[in-house]
Amino acid sequence: MKNSQITFIGGGNMASCLIGGLLADGFPRQKIAVADPDAATRASLRERFGCQVSASSAAFIAAADVVILAVKPQVMRTVVSELPADTPLLLSVAAGVRSGQLQHWLGRQAAIIRAMPNTPALVSSGATALFANEQVSAGQRELAEFILRAVGLTLWLEDETAMDAVTAVSGSGPAYFFYFMEAIEAAGRELGLSAEVAHLLTLQTTLGAARMALESEASVAELRHQVTSPGGTTERALQMLESDAVAEKISAAVRAARARSQELSMMLDEGTS
């Protein structure tokens, strides 16, 4: 894998995050090239990572094993329609852009992998779902997985339509947990804890609960039962949440996010996003 040549189109947050993860894993910097139109972005990438940079991707495509499309969904059509015929594996990290759309804009059959990472990738704790179209070889799948694993967990989807659910669960998911953390922190302050104590207790509890769930054989429902003593404090709090149908509201919120992801894909089709 470390002999592969990786070209990024778009050198913003997600590209920086992936490059940082790859270099931390010992991937050679001279095997990474980035095309970005912004001179300040290019200077910053060269300084931070020591990788090759250019305003245009033209010089970097022929030698690449994979071209990572890390531009905003709104500019994807323009970027893809300008790619040369010898473009190798395309790996798109753009939210809401379907592999069929990329193929259509490219104007020919091509090996395309679509990835949906999330923002905790910035701290190497991302969760990325991947989908490969039929043209993708086993070696190309391995390469894509190697790249995304540099920033966290990876898993493959058999059906691309599940990507909208992934967007709703893990793509938007960090914001849901931030929302809960905000609410619990605020409640702690209302109960007289200092802002710092409420903040640290909330964050460490969130991290601890996630680690327990990841490391345990038990389901999250079982873990919840284990920490809910009959007649205790946790039970009283959970009864309040249940009587307010909080689980149903969360389900409705996640469904709304999936519907919005589907809408955004359709808007890209129509060029109205």
Ligand X SMILES: NC(=O)c1ccc[n+]([C@@H]2O[C@H](COP(=O)([O-])OP(=O)(O)OC[C@H]3O[C@@H](n4cnc5c(N)ncnc54)[C@H](OP(=O)(O)O)[C@@H]3O)[C@@H](O)[C@H]2O)c1
Rounded least distance, CB 157 to ligand X, Å: 15
Task: Return the axis-axis angle of helices 246-270 and 73-81, rounded to nearest 10°.
Answer: 30
Residue nearest to ligand X (CB): 12
Rounded least distance, CB 137 to ligand X, Å: 24
Rounded least distance, CB 95 to ligand X, Å: 4
For ligand X, the closer of residues 33 and 35 by Cβ is: 35
For ligand X, the closer of residues 135 and 273 by Cβ is: 273
Compute φ and ψ for 67, nearest 5 degrees. -110, 115
Q: What is the edge-to-edge ordering of all strands in the sheet holding 32-35?
A: 52-54, 32-35, 6-9, 66-69, 89-92, 112-116, 126-132, 152-156
Torsion, CA 71, CA 31, CA 123, CA 131, rounded to 10: 60
Say how far apart CA 73 and CA 98 lie, in whole Å. 10
For ligand X, the closer of residues 21 and 117 by Cβ is: 117
For 137, other C-beta atoms within 10 Å of its C-beta total 11
Rounded least distance, CB 264 to ligand X, Å: 10
For ligand X, the closer of residues 10 and 21 by Cβ is: 10
Binding positions for ligand X, rule: CB under 6 A: 9-15, 35-38, 41, 70-73, 75, 79, 93-95, 117-119
